[in-house]
Amino acid sequence: MPSSTVEDYIKRLYHEEQRAPGTLVPMGRLAEAMNVVPGTVTTMIKALADSGLVYYEPRAGVRLTDGGRKLALHVLRRHRLVELFLVQTLGFNWSEVHDEAERLEHTISDKVLDKIDAFLGFPKADPHGSPIPCAKGIIAHEPTQTLTSCVVGERYRIARVLDNDAQFLQFAERNGLVPEAHITVISKDDYADALVVSCHSRNAPCTLGSSAAARIFVAPALLQ
Amino acid sequence: MPSSTVEDYIKRLYHEEQRAPGTLVPMGRLAEAMNVVPGTVTTMIKALADSGLVYYEPRAGVRLTDGGRKLALHVLRRHRLVELFLVQTLGFNWSEVHDEAERLEHTISDKVLDKIDAFLGFPKADPHGSPIPCAKGIIAHEPTQTLTSCVVGERYRIARVLDNDAQFLQFAERNGLVPEAHITVISKDDYADALVVSCHSRNAPCTLGSSAAARIFVAPALLQ
DNA sequence: AGGCGCATTTTGACCAGTCAAAAAGAAAGA
DNA sequence: TCTTTCTTTTTGACTGGTCAAAATGCGCCT
Ligand SMILES: [Mn+2]
Ligand SMILES: [Mn+2]
Ligand SMILES: [Mn+2]
Ligand SMILES: [Mn+2]
C-alpha cells in the first residue's frame, strides 16, 4: 500500500501535469508545490520511479505512468467524495473541507468510499465544482479556461473554484461566485491587473485581481 | 500533536489498565498487546514518560498520567463515534467497523468529531455497547462481569461485546448475543470449559467456550 | 549466599522521510 | 570556447518507529 506521503506526491504531480499537459514536470516545481527541498523530491521521485508510478528523466523532469495516474485519480476520488460528504451530510461550509479531506483521503478504505458514494447518490462533482473520478478511474473533462481569459461582455458559467484557500472561498461565496452561477465580465483593465465581474442573479458586480480571477474556472454558459 | 502511533500506545495502555486497575502494566504485556518487541515498548514508553503522558517505573511497569488518560479517552471517543457512524449512517455491519475506526480515529479532527456527535444525536454507546466518553473526557462505568462468571439460572442483560474479532461478532449476532439482549446461563460445565446460554426472545440456546464467553460483558437485567 | 530463569533494557541496525550544504550539469552569454 | 548562473543531484545528518540479539537486573529456589 502506498503511504500517504506517496499518495500526496502522486496527486500533486497529477495537478502539476494538468497545468502543462504533455510536458515533464520539473523537480523544482514539484518541490515548491510539496513544500519540501529539491533534494527531497529527487530522492522520492527515484523511489516512485522504482515502483513504477512515475517516469523520471534525470535533469529533465518527471511524469506519471498509467499506474501513477490511476493512483492519482483514486486519491482524487477519495478527496472529493470526502469533501462533498462533509458539506452535504455533516453541514460544513465549502471553505472548511479541503484541509480535512487532505488527511481523510489517505485513511478511507474502498469499502467506506463506496458506501459514501452510494449514500450521496453517485455525485458527479465536489463542492467546488471539481469532477469526481468514477470507481474505474474515469474523470470528466476539467475546463481550463479561467476568468482571466474571458471575453468581456460574454456570458459564462462558473465550473469550478480552486479550493486550497479557505479565505478566498468565503469571499467567493459572499459574492455569488459559486459553481453553476452565470456571470459576465463587465470590464477588464490589464494595467490595473483587475477585472469586474457581474454575477447573474446578483445586483452588485465585484472586482477581482488577476490572481484571484485565475482561481475561477469557467465553461460556456447554458442556453437561456 | 501526538502521532497515531502514540495514540495507539496510549489507548492500548488504557485498555490494559482496565484489566487490573490500580496496578502498573508490565512492559511485556504492552509489547504483546501492541504486537511489537519488548525493546520497542521500552523505547516508546520512555518517550511517552518524557512528554508526560505516562508514569514509568523501570523494571516495574507503566501507568497513564491524568494527561495520558485524557488523551486515551479522546481517542476512544473518536474510535467509538466513528464506529457508530459507520453502522448507523453508512450501513455497515457491526463486525466490519472496528478496523476502519482503528485508522480513522487518528485523522478525524475535533470539528468533524463534534459534527458527527451532533448528527448521531449525542449517543451514549458504540455499536458494541462500549460507552462513548463525552467531549470533556467523562466516561460511563464499563461493566467488568463477563458471561463466564454469571450465576446459572439468573437473568442478565448484555452490556457490551468485545469488538476486535469480526468473526466472533458475526457469530454473536446470529445468536442474538447483542447489547441490551436479556439472557440466562442455562448450564455451565467447568470441565468442558463451556456454558450454554439462552437468549430471551430466541428459541435455540447456544453453547460458548470460556474464551468466547469472556468476550461478552453483562450487567443486571432490567426489571420485568 | 549463590545460582537460575525470566522480564526488561541496551545496543546496533534498518527504513521512510526530511533538511542543509556541497557538488555537478546544463544552458545561455561573452 | 570559456564563464556564469540556475537547477538538480549527491552527501551526510537527523527523527520516529521498528527489530534482533546481547546485556542486565530482579525475584525465587536451593
Ligand atoms: Mn493528503
Ligand atoms: Mn475540492
Ligand atoms: Mn488506531
Ligand atoms: Mn467498538
Q: What is the 3-state secondary structure (H, E, C) of chain B?
A: CCCHHHHHHHHHHHHHHHCCCCCCECHHHHHHHHCCCHHHHHHHHHHHHHCCCEEEECCCEEEECHHHHHHHHHHHHHHHHHHHHHHHCCCCCCCCHHHHHHHHCCCCCHHHHHHHHHHCCCCCECCCCCECCCCCCCCCCCCCCEHHHCCCCCEEEEEEECCCCHHHHHHHHHCCCCCCCEEEEEEEECCCCEEEEEECCCCCCEEEEHHHHCCEEEEECCCC
Residuewise pLDDT in 10s, chain A (224 residues): 999 999 999 999 999 999 999 999 999 999 999 999 999 999 999 999 999 999 999 999 999 999 999 999 999 999 999 999 999 999 999 999 999 999 999 999 999 999 999 999 999 999 999 999 999 999 999 899 999 999 999 999 999 999 999 999 999 999 999 999 999 999 999 899 999 999 987 778 999 999 999 999 999 998 86
Of all residues in chain B, what percent carry a pLDDT higher than 70?
A: 99
The HSE-up count of residue B22 (CA atoms within 13 Å, CB side) is 0
At residue A120, the pLDDT reads 98
**B151-176 pLDDT, tens digit each:** 999 999 999 999 999 999 999 999 99
What residue has its CA nearest to the C1' of C25?
A59
Distance CA B59, CA B57 (A): 6
* Domain ranges (residues) in chain A: 4-64, 145-220
Statement: the CB of B44 is under 7 Å from strand C: no
pLDDT above 80 (res B203): no
Residues paired with A26 in a beta bridge: none
Nucleotide whose C1' lies closest to the alpha carbon of residue A39: D9
A109 contacts on B by Cβ (under 8 Å): 100, 103
- Strand C within 7 A of A166 CB: no
C1’ C1 / CA B94, Å: 60
Tell the CATH topology of A4-64: Arc Repressor Mutant, subunit A (1.10.10)
Asked if strand C comes closer than 7 Å to A3 Cβ, the answer is yes
Domain covering B145-220: architecture = Roll (2.30)
Q: Which three cell numbers stand for residue A15?
A: 495537478
> Which of A90, A92, A111 should one mutate to test binding to chain B, selecting the residue with the greatest count of B CBs within 10 A?
A90
Q: In which residue are the cell numbers 467506506 written?
A: A112
- C-alpha of residue B12 to centroid of ligand 3, in Å: 9
